[in-house]
Each structure stands twice: as C-alpha cells, then as structure tokens.
Structure 1
Amino acid sequence: MPAPLNPFKHSLAQGQTLFGCWLGLADTLTTELVGTAGFDWLVIDGEHAPNDLRSITAQLQVLEASNSHAVVRVPLGETYLIKQVLDAGAQTVLVPMVDSADQARQLVRDVTYPPHGDRGVGYAVSRAGRFSMTADYGTTADAQICLLVQVESLRGLAALDDILKVEGVDGVFIGPADLAADMGHMGDLMHGEVQSAIMDALTRIAASGKAGGILSTNDIMTQAALAAGARFVAVGADVLLLSHAAQALATKWKNTLK
C-alpha cells in the first residue's frame, strides 16, 4: 500500500486556487470546528501558537475526518522538528524565515528519504506509516510531501529568484507581518512599500511556476494577492475570528445601556 495522495499538493500542481485559515488556539475542538467550515486548507501553527508535537498530532488526528487539508508550520527549519511532524502524519510542511537557496535546499533534504535526503527512516512505528500498515510508505512518501517555504525578510526577497530555482520546493509563502517589520513598517501591512514588495514577490513566484501563498485578513490585499497570482491564500485565523466576534458582541450589548 502506498502513501496516501496529498490533495493539497495535487491541487496546486493543477493550478487551482485554495483558500485557508490559520489555527492558533492549539485546541482540538476548535480545530475540528474550523475543519467543518469548508476551507481547503488549515495551518496548525507551531511558530506563534502554544503548540507542541502532541497537540499538533492531536489536531492532525481530528482533521483526518475533514475535507480541509492540514498544513503544519514548524517553529523553525530544523531537521529534527520536520522529521517529527512528518512522522506524526503531516504531508504538508510550512517553514518560516527562509532567507536563502541553501536553506531551501536543506529543507528539501529534510523532507526527503535517503539516499537523496536526510529524513530519518522510522515509518514502520509512526503514525505517518499507519504503524507499519502502509508497507510501501518509504518508497512512495517523498512524492506526496509538500514543502512550503516562507520568505518574510528583505534578505529573503533578495534571494527569492534563487529560492524559486530549488527543485523540491512546492510553494513560497510571503510572510507580510515580518516583512513589514523588516522594512521599517511594523504593524502597517498596507503601507505602499510593503504592498508593492508583496505583490512583486507573488508575481515572480507565479511566473516561476511555483505556487505563491499569503495570509491576509484585508479584502483589498487579498484581491490584489489573487490578481498577482497567489494560489494558496489564508483569509483568517481562529484567534481573530473568536476575538473579533466576542468584542463585537460585548460592545453591541454594552452600548444598549448608553
């Protein structure tokens, strides 16, 4: 039995545009709930959310019953962290702070089994290999792993064309918040210089044949990103959805007393 098809990777290869949402509450019930909403993909965030390997694994388990594909963002591009989330069953990995083609090439090795990569061979006892039930996992898994790298600094933008030439990188996600900060516009993602840099990067990614990604909760920015060629677009986050709805509800009723 081979490794299961990665529908996210397959859809991107077919040129489809996929809409997603960020999961930062690190809670299985929330993840299950958002998994019923109809998003194409969901990011289990290991960088800025209070997730660890066990909570990531638990969320992968609940999303297995969902039509939303699980993307795991690791906290940084370390071989051992990537190995752990792959063995936990992740098929798509998002790696932050990629600033060079050399980094990207090592990440490709991290998600690839020997002799072409550095991923440790332990699938027989892992969730990824169905605990030895997927007999052909080792020889078929590489083709179903999707590697997404985040470019989110001026150094990364300068190296973007070289990163795009790295075989094995399936998509490049532009991190708007870190990029804005690095450009001297902390918190101002809609600044003209930041927007210009983002849209130029997305255009270059699309021209390379790879998939471009972005997180945007601003409709104007989202539409511009789609026009620039972005194909995996996160349009919200569970934290923000809950926070904004709770604030609006509290304000609505408190205002009735004024």
Structure 2
Amino acid sequence: MSKTSSRDIASGLRKKLADEGGLFGPMVIEFFSPGLPAIVAATGSDFILYDMEHSGAGFETMKVQFAGCRGLGVAPLVRVPAGEYHFVARAFDMGAHGVMVPMVETREQAERIVSSANYPPHGRRGAAFGIAHDDYRGGHPAEKMKASRERNLVICQIETAAGLDNVDEIAAVEGVDVLWVGHFDLTNSMGIPAEFDHPAYLRGIEKVVAAAHRNGKPAGFMALDSVWAEAYWKHGFDIIAYGLDHLLFQKALSDGVEMLKGLRKQGRPKG
C-alpha cells in the first residue's frame, strides 16, 4: 500500500495537472459502497468527484467515502448542496481535498466560499486539528493551516446566465482554484435547455475556459461519455469527470444483456 499521505495526494493534484496537463476521474452520485474508492483507484483515476447536491447523500456517507480514499492515491472531491459555510468548512474538515459549489454567480459569492474554505488570515474556517482532514496526526497548527491552503481546491460552478456574465470577476478571486461548467443548468438558465450545439452555449463555454486560463486556473467539465469527453477536452477543459457512476454501469450492463439476448435468439448449437 502506498505511504502517500492525503495531504500529499491533493497537493499532488496541482503538480500532476501542471506536469501532465489534465486530471480525470468519475463523478459518483449513486454507488457509495465501501469498495468504491479502491475500485476507482485501480482504474488509474486521479480523483473521485462525489455528489451531494442531487444524490441525497449526507455528510456521514461522505466521511466514510473520504476515509476509504486514504492511501490509494485518488483524491476525494465533493459537490456540496450550496455554498454556505457549514457545507464548505465541514466537507474539508471531514477530509475532502476539494469542494465544488453549484450556482456561483458573483465575485462576492466566490469570496464568501473561499473564506469558508480557508483558515485565518485568508478566511474564517474554524480550527479543529488532529481529525480527519489532517489524518488524525499531531503537528503544529500553523503548519497544518498552511498545508490545508496548499492542498484544498475550491471549485466554482458556472451554470447560470448571471454566473456567465460575471465569470471574469469570479475567476479573478484569489482562492478560487477551478471553474467548472454545469452544462444542463447553464442551458436551462439561458433559455435553451439541453441545446448543447447552440451557438450561445458554445460561446459561453469558450468564455468560461478563456476566463479560467487567463487567470492561470483550470476549467472543469463532467462528460457523459467518451464522445463528450473528447469534445470538451478539445474545447480546452483541463479537468474532466468521466461519466456518472450509474450511467457507466447501466451502459455496460445494457451492452452485456443485449449480447446475451442475441445469443438466446440464435439458440444453442445442436448436438
């Protein structure tokens, strides 16, 4: 088993992105099983992006999943339901290496999220040490606070017309680490639901990528399948969540069942 600490893994995400130019892993909304982190780590993924916004999963479930990632070389990231302090700070306390916040629309909102994610003097996160976020280890609090700031990723979702209008200001906030397009909500907000070939939407994603890169930050996207993944990689996105867990399983199972039905239709060889 790797002896890499969770602190090293997350700072390693930054280094790996700089060295290799991309980070990849699944988004998980359904299968919060004890073995999931090890299964994902075996694929060579860089991270697992857990969803709390739409899954109904709570903090108790997330804490178990984050713990399961320790020592595996796969970083736990989580989308919280909203950007309030008690979601952002608690997720980091439980061991998340990155927190994604939906529906970020203004610079002021981004600044509040960053403040919730960081200890003083960079924010207002409450102090608790020797717990999950620092692997229950001893050490000087000042060093732990420094390590936390270097490790933790603040991911702001741009998924409304207002967020798109203000994306340059959001991207410029110190402590916002990643801009992430929420494509379904963005098209809904723009009045073009699910029209992912619409010129206004395509201009929008170009605007997000440009704002992120102009500020030295990566852009992220959740791709439903390999076609989406290739297309959005070419659009310039640096961090790609590949598929939702249940859809990947459903597709693989559907392919297998269709194959078996074909064999049944052919019948067994006689004799």
The alignment's TM-score, normalised by the length of structure 2, stands at: 0.85
What is the identity, as a one-letter code, of the residue corresponding to 1:23? V
Partner SS for 1:105: helix
The offset of 1:233, in angstroms, is 1.1
Name the residue aligned to 1:144.
Answer: 151
| Mapped pair 1:58 → 2:61 | no
> CA offsets, 1:191-225, max 9 Å, x none?
44323322332133223311111111254443343
What is the identity, as a one-letter code, of the residue corresponding to 1:165? A
Name the residue aligned to 1:180.
Answer: 187
- Distance in 2 between the 1:28 and 1:144 partners? 25
Partner SS for 1:131: coil
Contact 1:83/1:111, CA 8 A, preserved across alignment: yes
- Larger CA deviation: 142-151 vs 7-16: 7-16
Q: Which one of 129, 134, 143 corresponds to residue 134 of structure 2?
A: 129
What is the identity, as a one-letter code, of the residue corresponding to 2:38? E
The offset of 1:78, in angstroms, is 1.0
The offset of 1:155, in angstroms, is 0.7
- Larger CA deviation: 93-102 vs 65-74: 65-74
Partner SS for 2:92: helix
Partner SS for 1:161: helix
Structure of higher CA gyration radius:
2
| Mapped pair 1:19 → 2:15 | no
Q: Which one of 8, 12, 15 corresponds to residue 13 of structure 2?
A: 8
- Distance in 2 between the 1:95 and 1:216 partners? 18
Name the residue aligned to 2:269.
Answer: none
| Mapped pair 1:228 → 2:235 | yes
Name the residue aligned to 1:106.
Answer: 112
Q: Summarize the Cα distance change of 1:252–1:140 in structure 2 as closer, same or farther, 3 Å threshold.
A: closer
Q: Which one of 195, 200, 211 corresponds to residue 207 of structure 2?
A: 200
What is the identity, as a one-letter code, of the residue corresponding to 1:34? V
Q: Which one of 111, 116, 119 corresponds to residue 122 of structure 2?
A: 116
Partner SS for 1:234: strand
What is the identity, as a one-letter code, of the residue corresponding to 2:194? G
The offset of 1:51, in angstroms, is 1.6
The alignment's TM-score, normalised by the length of structure 1, stands at: 0.89
Taking only the aligned residue pairs, the percentage that are identical comes to: 26
Contact 2:25/2:240, CA 8 A, preserved across alignment: yes
- Distance in 2 between the 1:43 and 1:188 partners? 25
Contact 1:3/1:144, CA 8 A, preserved across alignment: no
- Distance in 2 between the 1:99 and 1:169 partners? 13
Q: Summarize the Cα distance change of 1:104–1:97 in structure 2 as closer, same or farther, 3 Å threshold.
A: same
The offset of 1:174, in angstroms, is 0.8
What is the identity, as a one-letter code, of the residue corresponding to 1:22? M
Partner SS for 1:59: helix
| Mapped pair 1:89 → 2:92 | no
What is the identity, as a one-letter code, of the residue corresponding to 2:98? T
Contact 1:98/1:104, CA 8 A, preserved across alignment: yes
5+ residue gaps in structure 2?
266-271
User: CA RMSD, aligned part only?
Assistant: 2.3
| Mapped pair 1:69 → 2:72 | no
